[in-house]
Structure 1
Amino acid sequence: MVESKSRRHRNGERSHNLYREHFRLPQNDDEFSFISPCVKYSLFFFNLIFWLIGGSLIGLGIYSFLVEYSETNLPKVQSILDIVFHVSITLIIVGIVVFSMSLFGCLGSLRENLCLLKLYSLMLLLLFIGEIILSSIAFMFPNSFSFALKEKLSNDPIKKYRDDDNLKNLIDIMQTTFKCCGVSDKGYKDWSKNIYFNCSQSNPSPEKCAVPFSCCRNQRNFDSGLPNGMCGYNVQNISSVVEVNKYVYTRGCIEAITEVFERNMNLVAMVCLGSAVIQVQYSSILFA
């Protein structure tokens, strides 16, 4: 009787071991994993990169904010556009979002915490849906979308050019990089909306009827080679656009940026498609 029970026990143990070996089940609970190691560590390192980027954006935004407003009053925020046009605040907000999302992804994948992973997946899904909605609006109503974008960007940023050093530097970099001046289809004429550059009779500014030096085709003095801050002076008084074009760029920056995108449409499409595939893939894997 005892021998029969012992034989049955050995047979059962042998069958159990064969079952484990056939289906490659872990030998103990410590080896069990809900997530494939490949997905786990690729997700971890992918989010680690963005976690570092998010932390850098927060640090840069805080430093920029403290430098800009250490001796002046805090900025007035009356609408969401006021936040967008304050570069330091935008950096902080974007940095917090990227830092939080990537932190959930890092901790969730490393600790295999399904709650954090599902929260991370939900944030990715919401981001993807937002991208789809924005892209759909731009595709279905291209003229209205372009007009609204040009109107908004050619007002507040132009008017606040001298009030916010970070915004000023951003506009100068954009105009120099894309060889443009102003924002909308009016091009360099957009700068007439700025109180320092407009051509009104009541304007006492020495920069009256000028444009920023970042609009200039040649930003340096021919003789000395030094930066020439007066290269765009009085160009708004010149009636001929052809004549103005000899000294400064005349097209708006939205037109210039659109042209760059059109020239590199294949690269833009590949980047957008790759981003969409990554977001959908991780969301579907973690929600599965």
Structure 2
Amino acid sequence: MRCRSDPDHVVEPILKYFLTFFNLVVFLMSICCIIGGSWLLYQRDSVQNNKTNVESVFDITTDLGAYLIAIGCIGIIFAIIGCAATIRESIFFLRIYMFILILITVLNLIVGVIFLIYSGKITTAIQTKLEKTYILNYYDDDEIKSLFDLLQGQYSCCGIQNYTDWNSNPYHNCNSTQSALSCLVPVSCCKDYEKNKETLNLFCSREVLKDSSLVSNINTMGCRQAIITLAQYGVKILSSCLVGITIILAITIVLVQYLLILIRKEQALYNAKNRYSTLDNDDEIMDYLN
């Protein structure tokens, strides 16, 4: 970068420093996205090799991993274009860079609005998925089991609507004659599970699905409200992130536009200076100025 004391140089070096730093941050975040997405895909492959059922939780995980890798690759290309255009003061590439920024900002706003509009339906879909699919596959997928145990233990709840939801699980169903867990609920439904999870009796729920008078040892309230609370919390976090990203992108767009204006001024000054140097006499200079 040229020295700012040069009277013919009107581009602010601090502006280029800021935009370069911004693109470096985007580059590093993109690398993190690729690493995170690759790790998720690796975990999926590892579970598949162990012949674990992955048709539920890992459907989401697989999509997320591929999504993160795609974002990371696009982010790296975006950051390289931004750095090159800023350092070289290329008007053409700066215009491309600004167009990409505007496109990302618009898409960010669209995603945010859609998410806010359909946040209630998303919460309902999560509840339905948990109730109709995840409870059914509780013992077939370690990820599902960990998810439910964490949810039921942390929020002292059992099932989705209430503890009787576990009657739909083939291992807990009272009609199951070959399961030792028949008419029981998972141990994470028992009271004080978080405090005594290592020593708690696996059969602490006794036969609660058969006899409702035996529910004194378990949490009978469903996890529906806890799911709604978590979903609302997630919406707030995502909304805050989207607002923050939009503000940063908007500021960057303004700075890129300002840099373009300064580059055009500098080019005009350079062309005028060269034009003056080619004039042979004062009359030609006066004619040029007129």
**In the alignment, what sits opposite 2:173?**
198
Compared CA separation, residues 233 and 90, structure 1 to 2 (3 A): farther
Q: What amino acid is aligned across from residue 236 of structure 1 in structure 2?
A: L
Looking at structure 2, the residues matched to 225 and 71 of structure 1 have their Cα atoms a distance apart, in angstroms, of 26
1:155, distance to aligned residue in structure 2 (A): 0.8
Given the superposition, is the C-alpha separation of residues 178 and 233 from structure 1 closer, same or farther in structure 2, using an over 3 Å criterion?
same
CA pair 280-225 structure 1, distance change in 2 beyond 3 A:
closer
Structure showing greater radius of gyration is 2
1:188 matched residue in structure 2: 163
Question: What CA distance in whole angstroms lies between the structure 1 residues aligned with 2:247 and 2:228?
Answer: 27
TM-score for the superposition, normalised by structure 1: 0.65
Which amino acid in the other structure matches residue 10 of structure 2? Answer: L
Partner of 2:142: 165
- How much does 1:92 deviate? 1.8
TM-score by length of 2: 0.65
Counterpart residue number, 1:7: none
CA distance in 2: counterparts of 1:213 and 1:274, whole angstroms: 37
The aligned length equals 243
Distance (Å, rounded) in 1 between the aligned partners of 2:240 and 2:165: 35
Does 2:86 correspond to 1:106? Answer: no
CA distance in 1, matches of 2:201, 2:51: 29
What is the match of residue 79 of structure 1?
none
Shift of 1:74: 8.1
**8 Å contact from structure 1 (residues 57, 94) kept in 2:** no
The partner residue of 1:48 within 28, 31, 34 is 28
Which of 170, 174, 178 matches 2:155? Answer: 178
Contact preservation (8 Å) 1:101, 1:120: no
CA shift for structure 1 position 219: 3.3
SS of the residue 2:217 aligns to: coil
CA distance in 1, matches of 2:101, 2:134: 34
1:104-138 Cα deviation digits (max 9, x unpaired)? 44334333354466446534532431221121234
Matched residue SS, 1:236: coil
Q: Contact 1:218–1:247 (CA<8 Å) still a contact in 2?
A: no
* Residue in 2 that maps onto 1:279: 246
**CA offsets 1:114-167 (integer angstroms, 9 cap, x no match):** 4466446534532431221121234xxx5x665444223311111122222222
Alignment-mate amino acid for residue 245 of structure 2: I
> Tell me, which stretches of 5 or more residues in structure 1 are unaligned?
1-19, 77-81
Could you say what the CA RMSD is over the residues aligned between the two structures, in angstroms? Answer: 4.0
Q: Deviations over 1:172-208 (max 9, x none)?
A: 223323333223xx22222222111222x24421111
Q: 1:219 to 1:39 in 2, by over 3 A?
A: same
Distance 1:66 1:85, change over 3 A: closer
Question: Does the residue aligned with 2:188 lie in a helix, a strand or coil?
Answer: helix
Match of residue 130, structure 1, among 66, 87, 111: 111
Return 156-165 or 59-68, whichever deviates more.
Answer: 59-68
Cα separation, partners in 2 of 1:278 and 1:194, compared to 1, 3 Å:
same
